[in-house]
Amino acid sequence: MPVEAGTEARAAGLDALYGGLSPQEVIARAIEMFPGAIAAVSSFGADSAVLLHMIAEVDRRLPVAFLDTGKHFEETLSYRDALAADFGLADIRVVRPDAAALARIDPAGRLHETDAEACCAVRKVEPMARGVAPFRAWFTGRKRFQASTRAALPVFEAVGPRIRINPLARWTGADLADYMRAHALRENPLVAYGYLSIGCFPCTQPVKPGEDARSGRWAGQAKTECGIHLSGLEKSLTDASL
C-alpha cells in the first residue's frame, strides 16, 4: 500500500476515534501520539490566540512555525512576539521565502499585483513545506465556519505521508469569543478594524457585515486559499528537493 494511502486510512481512523473530542483533548492525544515529531503552524492572526493558548497549556516547548512572508502587517509581527511572551512559547520557528527564488520570481516585490497564485506559491507554499517537513504531524487553527471551502473540514486529515490536525474544526465564532473572554487572551489589534482573517497586507481587507470571515482575503478575486492547506503543499512536501 502506498504511504499516502496508508496515511489517509490512519487519518480517517483517528478522525473517527478522536474527531468528536474537545480541542484540548485532541491536542493532548496528538502530542502523545507523535512525541517529538509534531508542531503547530500559526499565522498569529485574528483568533490564533485560542489554539496557541491550548497548546501552551499542554506543552509550551512545542515548535510553532510562523511564515514570515515579507508582506505581513506590522501589527501581526508585534502580536506574534506578544503572544509568545504571554504563553511562554519557547520554540517559535520563523520560516521565510527562499531569497534566491524571490530574487528570480518577484524581484520588485509586486508579484501579488499580477499573479497572486504565484506570489503565494513562493512566499507561502514552498516555505511552509520546508517548515513542516521535519515533522510527522502538525496543528492548524482552521475552522469549518470560516468559509464554504472548509465546511467539511475533518479534525484529522492526511497530507502526503503526514497528518494535519485541526483541533478547532467544529468550533464556531461564538466558541472562540467565549474562550478568548474566559482566558482574557490578547486580541490581534487588527480585529478592531474589521480584519477577521489576516494575511499579507496587500491582499487583506476588512470584512463587510454579513460576509464570511475570509471574505476579506483576495477580495474581488476567485482565489479563496493561499495554498498552504491545499494540494500544492503536498506536492512541495514530496518534492525531491526538500
Distances (CA, A) of 158 to 13, 155, 166: 11, 10, 11
Give yes or no: 119 in active site: no
Q: How many CB atoms lie within 10 A of CB 230?
A: 15
**Do residues 120 and 145 lie in contact, with contact meaning Cβ atoms separated by under 8 Å?**
no
Give the distance from CA 162 to its chain's centroid.
Answer: 15
Q: What are phi and psi for residue 29, nearest 5 degrees?
A: -65, -40
Determine whether 181 is exposed, middle or buried from the number of CB atoms within 10 Å of its CB (0-12, 13-18, 19+).
exposed
Q: How many CB atoms lie within 10 A of CB 192?
A: 8
Q: Which residues are catalytic?
A: 226
